């Protein structure tokens, strides 16, 4: 993004049931280490509670410099990234198949859930649905700050809904691919870096 200050701090937010061990998180961390080792990288393990997740994020970024910070969010992490970017106009945000209505979509997951990248179990509580509803921004502002990578082949989220939510933002709409964006490293990570000026 020409004219913007260089990014010095980058936050990555993983999706539901995911972790910093996700393929895209590890690929992005390696890319940043190779191309911009000066950038502060943060990819926390997010708790199941959306309220606690946002509180944890706030603690991590509390002293990060304005207009020099960016966030990448995948799936539910994309929802959190949007909530973060809408609370403060100095964030640049990249969204990877972002969840648009997680309160609706996750209502069927209340109960004991197994994490993707370990044998750990966690309990997704009914009250987390209300916490998600409380977080969601009503509108997307400053659309130039957003870049969304959206796959028509996403098997979990509706690409039409994602595209409508981020209308006016820069969108890379993929004809195929999948929810995990298995072609992320070769096909899309360079575009993410270019959008953020990394």
- pLDDT single digits (tens) 112-136: 776 665 667 766 888 999 999 999 8
pLDDT at residue 115, rounded to an integer:
65
**Residue 1 domain-assigned (yes or no):** no
User: Buried (b) or exposed (e) across 152-162, using 16+ Cβ within 10 A?
Assistant: eebeebebeeb
pLDDT less than 70: residues of the chain: 1-3, 114-119, 122-123
pLDDT at residue 118, rounded to an integer:
62
**Residue 3 domain-assigned (yes or no):** no
CB 15 within 8 A of CB 117: no
pLDDT at residue 3, rounded to an integer:
63
Number of domains in the chain: 1
> Of 29, 24, 167, which is closest to residue 96 (Cα–Cα)?
24
**Residue 175 domain-assigned (yes or no):** yes
pLDDT at residue 139, rounded to an integer:
87
**Residue 2 domain-assigned (yes or no):** no
CB atoms closer than 10 angstroms to residue 69: 21
**Residue 31 domain-assigned (yes or no):** yes
**Residue 46 domain-assigned (yes or no):** yes
**Residue 4 domain-assigned (yes or no):** no
CATH number of the CATH domain containing 20: 3.40.50.1820
Range of the structural domain that residue 140 is part of:
9-196
Instruction: Report the C-alpha gap between 95 and 81 in whole angstroms.
Output: 7
**Threshold 0.75, pTM exceeds:** yes
CB atoms closer than 10 angstroms to residue 126: 9
Q: What is the 3-state secondary structure (H, E, C) of 88-130?
A: CCCEEEEEECCCCCHHHHCHHHCEEEECCCCCCEEEECCHHHH
pLDDT at residue 179, rounded to an integer:
84
Instruction: Report the C-alpha gap between 84 and 124 in whole angstroms.
Output: 22
**Residue 171 domain-assigned (yes or no):** yes
């Amino acid at each position: 993004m020409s004219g913007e200050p260089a990014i010095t701090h980058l936050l990555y937010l993983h999706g539901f049931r995911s972790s910093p061990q996700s393929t895209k998180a590890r690929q992005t961390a390696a890319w940043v280490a190779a191309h911009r080792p000066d950038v502060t990288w943060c990819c926390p393990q997010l708790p199941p509670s959306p309220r606690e997740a946002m509180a944890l994020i706030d603690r991590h970024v509390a002293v990060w410099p304005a207009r020099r910070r960016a966030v990448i969010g995948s799936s539910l992490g994309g929802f959190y990234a949007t909530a973060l970017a809408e609370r403060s106009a100095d964030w640049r945000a990249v969204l990877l198949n972002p969840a648009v209505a997680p309160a609706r979509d996750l209502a069927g997951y209340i109960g004991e859930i197994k994490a993707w990248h370990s044998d750990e179990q966690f309990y997704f509580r009914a009250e987390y649905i209300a916490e998600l509803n409380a977080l969601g921004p009503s509108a997307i502002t400053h659309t130039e700050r957003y870049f969304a990578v959206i796959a028509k082949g996403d098997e979990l989220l509706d690409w039409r809904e994602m595209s409508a939510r981020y209308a006016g933002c820069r969108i890379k709409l993929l004809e195929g691919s999948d929810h995990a964006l298995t072609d992320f490293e070769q096909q899309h990570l360079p575009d993410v870096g270019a959008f953020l000026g990394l």
